[in-house]
């Protein structure tokens, strides 16, 4: 049985969706459908941390903890207006006793919508994409990245509340190589290209093309250096931006994992890899055994060469560049760490230990 569009009246009958403003309920409806699950199939398992909110629309659902039956839920019953066994990790296993229909909502997205409604600061209609392109919704794309699973819910709410919208035209330069870092950006509509000027390529080496839900601008904010690349709009579009102070408070601190040298060596002994983000000449002069060499400005381009299952300990001389690299990896779901103080303060280098 195919999924079907969700009816607004159905969403209004559910709690706490019945408290959403009509604009935000419409935004949620565009991202939601009524789905089917065959009898005997599992909706979720005990111990899961899926970050989804489920509602039973029709049929019967069995809740169990281990071998013990806890409850049977029926679609249309008064209790079915509430989420199915909320809480993470899951305390129960939910199995369909009959063919069922259900609704699944991204829990973080729902939390942000409820927060906006209760504060009155924003409505989704003000900052979301064209409804015709809802599948590319920037907010959903951002919330579904692994990085956001590591950020406290209060930070996620504050993050969206403090972002500012910027409209751009094709050809607009958003950030320029060599400028001071001031904002972190998320693409909400359109596409942009990341380029880096080198002595051998004055036109700029193309490093990446970014689309809806992708972000940029974090390197200079974390490392307290100037912009190491230029970002130019390829099409008309819009961006959400977060100022430097809010970025450090809400994103950088939760995502960045500093480790002392002893801990870093323990991680490497257990299978992690050193990731050296200095320039090739610095790497050639000295590097840690078996270190992977990827200069910071090539990180975006070389991400596919790294193993997502391998933890990485980023290093540079002082910790500035490596902290930016560790953030970029963490933001994209890698298990990444940064050596506190860098190579220099830990006595690592030519003639060091």
Kindly report, residue by residue over 200-213, the tens digit of the pLDDT.
Answer: 777 778 888 999 88
What average pLDDT does the segment 141-170 reach? 80
Q: Which residues contact 265 (CB under 8 A, 6 or more apart)?
A: none
Inter-residue contact 54 to 87 (CB < 8 Å) = no
* Beta partners for residue 164, in sequence order: 241
Domains of the chain: 4-106 (2.60.120.10), 128-251 (2.60.120.10), 256-345 (3.40.250.10)
Residues sharing a CB contact under 8 Å with residue 245, sequence separation 6 or more, in sequence order: none
Give me the residues paired with residue 238 across strands. 167, 189
When mean pLDDT is compared across 20-29, 37-46, 91-100, 309-318, the lowest value belongs to 20-29
d(CA 179, CA 43): 50
- CA angle (90, 95, 97) in 5-degree steps: 150
| Distance in angstroms (rounded) separating the CA atoms of residues 239 and 344 | 38
Residue 180 per-residue DSSP state: B
- Mean of pLDDT values over 230-244: 94
Q: How many angstroms separate the CA atoms of 44 and 102, rounded?
A: 12
Quote the DSSP letter at residue 22: H
C-alpha to C-alpha distance for 309 and 26, rounded to whole angstroms: 38
**41-50, 233-242, 297-306: lowest mean pLDDT where?**
297-306
Full strand arrangement of the beta sheet holding 237-243: 164-168, 237-243, 183-189, 215-216
Going from the C-alpha of 138 to that of each of 69, 84, 185, 267, the distances in angstroms are 40, 27, 12, 35
Q: Is 285 helix (H, G, I), strand (E, B) or coil?
A: helix
How many CA atoms lie less than 13 Å away from 263 in the CB half-sphere?
11
In three-state secondary structure terms, 109 is helix
Query: Alpha-carbon distance 168 to 161, whole Å?
Result: 21
Q: Which two tokens stand for residue 32?
A: 């939601």
Q: Closest Cα partner for 159 from 248, 227, 258? A: 248
Counting residues of the chain whose pLDDT is more than 70, the rounded percentage is: 90
- Residue pair 314/323 in contact by the 8 Å Cβ criterion: yes
Residue 208 exposure: Cα atoms within 13 Å on the Cβ side: 17
Q: CB neighbours of 196 closer than 8 A, spacing ≥ 6? A: 177, 204, 205, 207, 228, 229, 230, 297
For 333: left if phi > 0, alpha if psi spans -120 to 50, otherwise beta; the answer is left
User: Which pLDDT tens digit goes with each residue over 73-131?
Assistant: 999 999 999 999 988 899 999 999 999 999 999 887 787 777 666 554 444 444 444 43
Both tokens of 227, joined, read 């912009």
3-state secondary structure of 114: helix
Do residues 233 and 216 touch, judged by C-beta distance below 8 A? no
**pLDDT value at residue 307:** 96
Query: How confident is the model over 39-85, as pLDDT tens digits?
Result: 999 999 999 988 899 999 999 999 999 989 999 999 999 999 999 99
Confidence check: pLDDT of 153 > 80: no
Q: Give pTM, 2 decimals.
A: 0.63
Helix 153-162 / helix 107-119 crossing angle, nearest 10 deg: 60
């Amino acid at each position: 049985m195919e999924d079907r569009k969700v009816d607004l009246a159905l969403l209004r009958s559910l709690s706490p969706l019945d408290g959403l403003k009509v604009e935000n309920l419409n935004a949620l409806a565009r991202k939601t459908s009524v789905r089917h699950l065959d009898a005997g199939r599992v909706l979720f398992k005990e111990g899961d941390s899926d970050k989804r909110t489920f509602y039973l629309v029709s049929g019967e659902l069995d809740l169990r903890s281990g071998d013990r039956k806890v409850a049977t839920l029926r679609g249309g019953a008064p209790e079915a207006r509430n989420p199915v066994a909320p809480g993470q990790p899951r305390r129960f296993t939910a199995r369909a006793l009959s063919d069922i229909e259900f609704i699944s909502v991204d829990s973080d997205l729902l939390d942000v919508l409820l927060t906006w409604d209760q504060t009155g600061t924003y409505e989704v209609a003000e900052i979301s994409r064209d409804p015709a392109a809802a599948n590319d919704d920037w907010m959903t794309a951002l919330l579904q990245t692994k990085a956001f699973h590591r950020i406290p819910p209060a930070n996620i709410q504050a993050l969206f509340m403090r972002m500012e919208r910027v409209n751009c035209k094709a050809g607009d330069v958003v950030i320029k190589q060599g400028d001071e870092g001031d904002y972190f950006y998320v693409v909400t509509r359109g596409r942009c290209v990341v380029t880096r000027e080198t002595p051998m390529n004055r036109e700029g080496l193309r490093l990446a093309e970014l689309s809806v839900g992708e972000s940029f601008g974090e390197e200079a904010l974390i490392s307290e250096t100037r912009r190491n690349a230029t970002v130019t709009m390829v099409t008309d579009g819009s961006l959400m931006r977060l100022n430097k102070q809010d970025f450090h408070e809400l994103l950088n601190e939760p995502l960045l994992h500093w480790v002392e040298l002893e801990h870093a060596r323990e991680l490497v002994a257990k299978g992690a890899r050193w990731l050296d983000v200095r320039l090739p000449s610095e790497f050639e002069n000295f590097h840690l055994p078996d270190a992977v060499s990827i200069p910071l400005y090539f990180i975006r381009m070389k991400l596919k060469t790294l193993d997502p299952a391998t933890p990485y300990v980023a290093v540079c001389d002082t910790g500035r560049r490596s902290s930016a690299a560790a953030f970029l990896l963490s933001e994209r779901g890698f298990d990444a760490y940064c050596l506190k103080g860098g190579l220099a303060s830990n006595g690592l280098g030519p003639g060091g230990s």
